[in-house]
Amino acid sequence: MMERVTLGPVLFTAEAISARVKEVGAEINRFYLARGEPQREVVLVNVLKGGFIFLADLVRCLEIPVVVDFLAISGYGDRGTSAGVRILKDLSEGIRGKEVLVVEDIVDTGLTLSYILRNLEARGPESLRVCTFLDRAVKRIVPVEVHHRCFEVGEEFVVGYGLDYRQKWRNLPHVRVLRGERAQVAG
Ligand code: 5GP
């Protein structure tokens, strides 16, 4: 079947994104610096694939000691619960006793993030916080606490800056609305 989707208007330009990521990076620096000496290492847990560009930009704004690790999980499909979610690629190191910051592309219903948080919490981190590039609070099904966010978005499906439509358009330097046939969520 023909894909009847086209790129719509630009929502966030590359310049606006860059400025905002710097602000959020500074916010994260302040939070962890205030936790006092000796400065503890923060494990940035990036959720693939949508979050990889945000992580790459964010990490260069951080002045605290950090390590990065990656997690890939399956989507929850159309059932509207996190029952079907599973880990496709797990972290390469343990996080017990560590300061952990989850770095997400977008928090929509919250189903994916709530699964991730439950799973990571069970591993006994010292702290577990969340930073997301985009937050679509209007669609939230499961309440999840988001500590740092770059931008709020409305109902429209968006692509670019790591976010895809059927694996396409992750490479756009800006964020655009996708127009046309109901876009499928594909992390
Ligand atoms: P949630 O579990 O919060 O509903 O959504 C999690 C995942 O759905 C996100 O990590 C992302 O991969 C995908 N997603 C949700 N909304 C959008 C969107 O507007 N655009 C794109 N490209 N992916 C989205």
Domain ranges of the chain: 15-154
Ligand 1 atom having least distance to the Cα of 47: 10
Would the pLDDT of 42 be above 70?
Answer: yes
Would the pLDDT of 19 be above 60?
Answer: yes
Topology of domain 15-154, CATH? Rossmann fold (3.40.50)
Ligand 1 atom having least distance to the Cα of 108: 3
Q: How far apart are alpha carbons 185 and 154 in whole angstroms?
A: 15
DSSP state of 34: T
The values of phi and psi at residue 62, to 5°, are -95, 135
Residue closest to 1 by CA, chosen among 186, 181, 187, 185: 181
pLDDT band (50, 70, 90) for residue 36: confident
Question: For residue 77, what pLDDT is reported?
Answer: 60
| 159 alpha carbon – ligand 1 mean position (Å) | 10
Annotated active-site residue in 105, 108, 135, 164:
108
Average pLDDT over residues 160-179: 96
Task: Note if 108 is an active site residue.
Answer: yes
> For a pocket test of ligand 1, which of 78, 79, 185 has the largest count of ligand atoms closer than 8 A to its C-beta?
185
| 123 alpha carbon – ligand 1 mean position (Å) | 25
pLDDT tens track for 47-73: 999 999 999 999 999 999 999 999 999
pLDDT band (50, 70, 90) for residue 101: very high
- Report residue 170 CA to chain centroid gap: 14
The kind and range of the H/E element at 119 are helix 111-121
- Asked if 134 and 16 count as a contact pair (C-beta separation under 8 A), the reply is no
Question: For residue 37, what pLDDT is reported?
Answer: 76
